[in-house]
Amino acid sequence: MTPFSRRGVIAAVGAALALTISACGGAAYAPTPTTSAAPSTTSAAPTTTGAPAPAPVACNNATQSYAALPSLPSAASVGGRLTEVARRGYLIAGVSSDTLLLGSRNPLTGQLEGFDIDVIRELARAIFGDPDKVQFTVITAAQRIPVLQNRTVDVVARNMTMTCGRWQDIAFSSEYYHSGQKILVRKGSTATTLPDLTGKRVCAPNGTSSMTKLKEYASVIAVGSDTHTGCLVLFQQGKVDAITGDDTVLAGLAAQDPYAVVPKSEPLTAEPYGLGFNKEDKAFVQYANALLDQMRADGRWTAIYDRWLAPSLGAAPAPPAAVYGR
Amino acid sequence: MAAPAPPPAQATTPASPATTPMPPGAGQVVQGQLSAPGATPGAMSAASKRIAKGMLATTPGKMSWLRALSIAISFVYALAGAGTLYANSSALTRASTNTSQVVLVQGIYADLLRADADATNAFLVSGLERPEQRADYEAALARVSSNIAAAATAQPADADALATLNVAVQGYASAVESARAYNRQGMPVGAQYLKQASTSLRATALPLLDNLRVANVDRAEAEFSGARSLVPFLVVGLLTLGVLGAVAVWLAKVTHRYINVGLTAAIAAVLVSFIAGFAMLTSTANTVESTRTTQFAQAVALTNIRSAAFDIRANESLGLIARGQAAPYETQVQKRITEVTSILKEGRVPNQTAVTKAWDQYLAAHANVRRDDDAFRWDQAVVTATAVDGGSYVAFKALDEATATPLTTAQADLSTRILSPRTPLFIAAIVALLAGVAASGLAARGIAQRLEEYR
């Protein structure tokens, strides 16, 4: 063979080899991304922003309700909505299921329980002689007024603050609990009120009056969450230093965590709670006011307070006085 | 591979440039043939070119050059032909690895949602959770852990994503344990931990699994198309046959003899192995395509249906736990229902009738739960969602069972079928190799016989 043809053979074989190697080349894949630019799976995370804080309406009679009936008559004889309730045979009440001590579901029994729930049970006892004749309807804070307006429920007991703005849409009973905004801190903290928490991170649910108040303190770092219980998780994970809200709600949080305390202090705001009714159910409101008067007088109010709130908030104060004349 | 022994006859001494002038026409013809695509050997120095020119001036010179060309092209066929067949075969192996990885990743996805469905549903009955439900949760998470490890070994390119996934799964499991502990003590904060666990699962772990699925489906598709490709083999085969054929025609013209036994035998060997290889490749392409559209599509569709069912079950429970605030969870449920409806509409799910029936019953049971909850009959809704003797649990279990067996079958068939053409392809590659080597020897001998006649 000539040198030239040998060279040709070598070149051809070399080319063939190169072709073969490239064809059999191993697979080197790009690494799978660990972050996604646009996650294709959506999360079912609800972003409940809570009820928008009620717009303050200038007035001085938010706690003023309709005069109580002189005594508790037979419910059927009162007329209007209350007569319908008596005929139906049970009361429909809008309540919370996640506010410990006021209205929450006991996971062990499956039953709703708390201060608000017991007040409603007393109402059922007055109407039917049986505290169990209630259908509890769990509602969100934002649903409180709509469910009264569209008559899904007869009454709402869900730590609802009486405001002049809300009086435009619904009716309230006399004040049955006097709450106020306070703070919850770690055991051992010296802070007792918001100004003591300068530079600290404080949590409140988004869209609530508690958050509005919190933001008035510019030196405090406000952290939002979806609910107060969400704030407790952040608190337990060390992501916030304190929580602010109504003292009743904070008491419910403190009851779930032995290292959380609500220090004694003057409340930042006044939050008078009232039972909510449809605006047209004036007679029903007057009936409820008569019941609340009885409960204040005969110690039932104090007994309910002691049962739910005293362990966290201390001895029962005098029940809030009723203001009538609307 | 043993190179064929060089032909013993050193018949062609280099001729001096000026000797034996040829008619200009003949020389041009040869030049034209020699410039056939792919036939020109590597770069030549100026000296070699001069020698080449001189060689090509004589018939024995041309003949010896064409002999070298025939040997070279036969070797090209031996190596490149066998190589392309082998490349298709190894693409099958990689396609199988990648589809297995897709199935594994989808399995992790389904198991995570299965665990979440168990955890959230058990939450509704607090400390009274059924031991089987707890065991199912633990088994699902155990499978997730071992499958993450298996997937990381199977595909190093997925290792980083799987490591991140592992962290997310651990975070999920620990949040679920916090939720469970608080729930057993009757504290509402437990529900918040559970919500956080489920939310983070869907915000971090599931998108990672989507990345993994997409990456592996893309890899599998790329290998599928590699395993299906016919062109490289076709080009190599036709080029070889074309060059050998042209040499044979030229030889016949120059020597005035139609048949050169060696060269003809070489062409026959290449042709037979080429036809066999091409037939094998075509059948592989069909197998790959049908596996991709049948078993692979079935396995993916069934896993998607199962994942959707688990996700719906989890969201049903979460909606009940967030009493009165089920709307965001129900939105997710409706999205899943839309996904599955379109999968079922394609009609390619194995056991389609039974699966569709179970799916419809499951949706009806879920609708009952929602109707009761929306009508403020929460206790009744919880009973429907948690009772083991009826309601959505029975429907859910029926759906689980209707999809589990066909999924196992589809997964097993998938791997077997993808790999089935590997052995025939390997044999075809060996045949091509041997045929190419044999052809080079046969062509060399055949042309050498003619060269002898010029001595």
Residue A100 lies in a domain: yes
Question: Using a CB-CB distance cutoff of 8 angstroms, which residues of chain A are in contact with residue B382?
Answer: 110
Q: Which residues of A touch B189 (CB under 8 A)?
A: 229, 232-233, 236, 253, 256-257
Does one domain contain both A208 and A173? no
How many C-beta neighbours within 10 Å does residue B258 have? Answer: 9
Planar angle of CA B326, A232, A93, nearest 5 degrees = 45
Q: Are residues A161 and A295 in the same domain?
A: yes
Question: What's the CATH code of the domain at A126?
Answer: 3.40.190.10
pLDDT one-digit tens code per residue, A223-232: 998 788 889 9
The more confident residue out of A98 and B211 is B211
- CA A48 to chain B, closest CA, distance in angstroms equals 8
Of the candidates B4, B452, B54, the residue with the CA atom closest to the CA atom of residue A4: B54
A14 chain-B contacts, CB cut-off 8 A: 42
pLDDT tens digit string along B129-181? 889 999 999 999 999 999 999 999 999 999 999 999 999 999 999 999 999 99
Q: Tell me what the pLDDT averaged over chain A comes to.
A: 84
Give the count of beta carbons closer than 10 Å to the beta carbon of residue A201: 16
Q: How far apart are alpha carbons A42 and A44 in whole angstroms?
A: 6
DSSP B323: T
**Residue B79 DSSP class:** I
Q: Which of A306, A302, A249, A299 is nearest to A273 (CA)?
A: A249
| Measured distance CA(A63)–CA(A81) in Å, rounded | 23
Q: Is residue B19 part of a domain?
A: no
Q: Which domain holds residue B325?
A: 76-433
Measured CA to CA, the distance from residue B16 to residue A157 in angstroms comes to 116
What are the distances in angstroms from CA B82 to CA B5, B102, B356, B409? 21, 30, 48, 34
Q: Does A109 lie in the same domain as A189? A: no
Is B189 in contact with A45 (Cβ distance < 8 A)?
Answer: no
DSSP state, A195?
G
Confidence band of B36 (pLDDT split at 50, 70, 90): very low
Q: Which tens digits make up the pLDDT trace of B254-299?
A: 888 888 999 999 999 999 999 999 999 999 999 999 998 889 889 8
| DSSP label at residue A200 | S
CA distance A299 to chain B (A): 29
CB contact under 8 A, B324 and A139: yes
Residues A154 and A106 in one domain: yes
pLDDT of residue A39 exceeding 60: no
- Nearest to B95, CA basis, from B409, B419, B407: B419
**If pLDDT is split at 50, 70 and 90, which confidence band does B323 have?**
confident
- Whether the pLDDT of residue A317 is over 60: the answer is yes
Residue B162 lies in a domain: yes
Chain-centroid distance of CA B309 in Å reads: 27
Per the domain annotation, does B455 fall within a domain? no
How many domains, in total, are found in chain A?
2
Q: How far apart are CA A197 and CA A200, in angstroms?
A: 5
For residues B105 and B212, give the distance between their C-alpha atoms in angstroms, rounded to a whole number. 7
Please check whether residues A75 and A154 belong to one and the same domain: yes
Strands A64-65 and A323-324: parallel
* A46, part of any domain: no
Nearest residue, CB atoms, A41 vs list B73, B90, B206: B206
State the nearest Cα–Cα gap between A8 and chain B, in angstroms.
Answer: 5
How far is residue A322's CA from residue B335's CA, in Å, rounded to a whole number?
A: 51
Q: Which of A223, A242, A261 is the last residue of a domain?
A: A261
Question: Are both A73 and A162 inside the same structural domain?
Answer: yes
**Residue B434 CA to its chain's centroid (Å):** 29
Residue with tokens 């396609």: B95
Predicted complex ipTM: 0.72
Predicted pLDDT at B362: 92
Answer yes or no: do A108 and B127 touch at CB < 8 A: yes
- Interface mutation target, options B79, B165, B172, B334, chain A, most CBs of A under 10 Å: B79
Does residue B47 lie in a domain region? no
pLDDT given for residue A265 in this prediction: 87
pLDDT confidence of residue B55:
66
Which residues from B are below 8 Å from A44, CB to CB?
198-199, 202, 315, 318, 328-329, 331-332
Q: Can you give the pLDDT at residue B38? A: 40
* A169 and A305 share one domain: yes
* Phi and psi at residue A157, to the nearest 5°: -125, 90
User: Which residue of A23, A48, A92 is in closest CB contact with B232?
Assistant: A23
pLDDT > 70: what percent of chain A?
A: 84
CB of B158 closer than 8 Å to CB of B215? yes
| Residue B35 confidence (pLDDT) above 60 | no
Query: Tokens 């809570």 map to which residue?
Result: A50
Instruction: Using pLDDT thresholds of 50, 70 and 90, give the confidence band for residue A48.
Output: very low
- The phi and psi torsions of B134 (rounded to 5 degrees) equal -65, -40
B29 within some domain:
no
Which positions in chain A touch B182 (Cβ < 8 Å)?
256
Closest CA to B274 of B324, B233, B232: B233
Residues A108, A239: Cα–Cα separation, whole Å: 29
Residue A1, in any domain of the structure: no
Tell me if A13 and B79 make a contact (CB, 8 A cut-off).
yes
In one-letter notation, the amino acid at residue B119 is A
Residue of chain B nearest A49, judged by CA positions: B325
Residue A32 lies in a domain: no
Q: Between B348 and B3, name the one with better pLDDT.
A: B348
Q: Who contacts B93 (Cβ-Cβ below 8 Å, separation ≥6)? A: B419, B422
**Residue A266 token pair:** 């003057």
Q: Are B307 and B250 in contact (CB under 8 A)?
A: no
Q: Are residues A254 and A306 located together in one domain of the fold?
A: no
pLDDT value, residue A49: 40
> What pLDDT shows up at residue B54?
64
Residues of chain B contacting residue A1, judged by C-beta atoms under 8 Å apart: 6-7, 10, 12, 64, 68
> A287 and A175, same structural domain?
yes
Same-domain check for residues A70 and A210: no
Residues in B closer than 8 angstroms to A4, CB to CB, are 48, 51-52, 55, 65, 68
C-beta atoms surrounding A239 within 10 Å = 13
Distance from C-alpha of B209 to C-alpha of A265, rounded to nearest angstrom: 51
Query: Least CB-CB distance to B80: which of A20, A30, A36?
Result: A20
- CA separation (Å) from B431 to A309, B72, B234, B267, B408? 89, 18, 16, 14, 37
Domain that holds residue A235: 181-261
Residues A312/A313/A314/A315 CA torsion (nearest 10 deg) = -120
A:149-208 residues touching chain B, CB 8 A cutoff: 152
Tell me how many residue pairs between chain A and chain B have CB atoms under 8 A apart.
212
- Which runs of consecutive H residues, i.e. helices, occur in chain A? 3-24, 80-88, 115-128, 144-149, 164-167, 209-214, 228-236, 247-254, 282-298, 300-308, 310-313
Which of A1, A21, A41 lies nearest to residue B202, judging by beta carbons?
A41
DSSP for residue B270 = H
What integer best gives the mean pLDDT of chain B?
A: 85
By Cβ distance, the residue of B65, B159, B328 closest to A44 is B328
Which residue from A4, A29, A106 is facing B55, i.e. has the nearest CB? A4
Q: What is the pLDDT of residues B73-101, one digit of tens each?
A: 999 999 999 999 999 999 999 999 999 99
- For residue range B9-25, list pLDDT tens digits in order: 443 434 344 344 444 43
Residue B354 distance to chain A (closest CA, Å): 28
Distance from chain centroid for Cα A88? 30
CA distance A211 to A203: 8
Predicted pLDDT of residue B396: 86
Closest by CA to B403, choosing from B349, B334, B360, is B349
pLDDT of residue A44: 36
Domain count, chain B: 1
What pLDDT does B9 receive? 40
pLDDT at residue A58, rounded to an integer: 57
pLDDT confidence bin for B47, thresholds 50/70/90: low
Mutate which of B113, B192, B193, B218 to test chain A, going by most A C-beta atoms within 10 A? B192
Q: Which of A1, A99, A117, A184 is the best substitution to test chain B (most B C-beta atoms within 10 A)?
A: A1
What the block records as the tokens of A120 is: 């409603």
> A105 and A194 in one domain?
no
When mean pLDDT is compared across A48-57, A147-156, B204-213, the lowest value belongs to A48-57
Task: Give CA–CA dist A220/A53, Å, rounded.
Answer: 20
- Judged by CB atoms closer than 8 Å, whether chains meet at B188 and A44 is answered as no
Q: Which of residues 100-119 of A touch B (CB under 8 A)?
A: 100, 104-108, 110
Nearest to A11 among B42, B208, B331 (CB): B42
Which segment of B122-126, B378-382, B434-438 scores lowest on mean pLDDT?
Answer: B122-126
Q: Which of B48, B188, B328 sits opposite A100 (nearest CB)?
A: B188
The reply to whether residue A20 touches residue B94, judged by beta carbons under 8 angstroms, is no
Structure confidence at residue B343 as a pLDDT band (50, 70, 90): very high
Alpha-carbon distance of A125 to B192, in angstroms, equals: 34
Q: Are residues A97 and A162 in the same domain?
A: yes
Closest residue, chain B, to A229 (C-alpha)? B189
Contacts of A285 (CB under 8 A, 6+ apart): A65, A66, A171, A172, A173, A277
Residue A47 inside a domain? The answer is no
Q: Which of A9, A156, A225 to probe the B interface (max B CBs under 10 A)?
A: A9
**Tell me, what's the pLDDT at A108?**
75
Cβ count within 10 A of residue A297? 10
CB contact under 8 A, A13 and B75: yes
| Closest CB to B160 among A8, A20, A31 | A31
B161 to A31: CB separation less than 8 angstroms, yes or no: yes
CB-nearest to A46 from B42, B191, B325 is: B325
Cβ-Cβ contacts under 8 Å, B164 against chain A: 34
Q: Is residue A280 part of a domain?
A: yes
Residues of B in contact with A98 (CB under 8 A): 188, 191, 323
Could you give the CA distance from residue A180 to residue A267 in angstroms, rounded to a whole number? 5
* The pLDDT of residue B45: 64
3-state class of A136 per DSSP? strand
Which domain-ending residue is among A220, A238, A261? A261
User: Which helix (H) or strand (E) is A186 found in, with range?
Assistant: strand A181-186
Closest CA to B39 of B317, B246, B271: B246
Tell me phi and psi for residue A277, to 5 degrees: -135, 165
pLDDT single digits (tens) A117-144:
999 999 999 999 999 999 888 887 778 8
Structure tokens at A257: 């965590």
CA–CA distances in Å: residue B430 to residues A21, B78, B269 = 16, 9, 13
pLDDT of residue B120: 92
pLDDT tens, position by position, A255-311? 999 999 999 888 999 899 999 999 999 999 999 999 999 999 999 999 999 999 988
- Residues 25-44 of chain A with CB under 8 A from chain B are 27, 29-34, 36, 39-44
- Measured between CA atoms, how close is A246 to chain B, in angstroms? 17
Compute the distance between CA of residue A81 and CA of residue A148 in angstroms, rounded to an integer: 12
| pLDDT number for residue A98 | 80
Can you give the pLDDT at residue B248?
Answer: 93
Residue after which a domain boundary falls, among A218, A236, A261: A261
Query: CB–CB of A43 and B161 under 8 A?
Result: no
Contacts of B425 (CB under 8 A, 6+ apart): B85, B86, B88, B89, B92, B280, B281, B284
Distance CA B410, CA B421 (A): 18
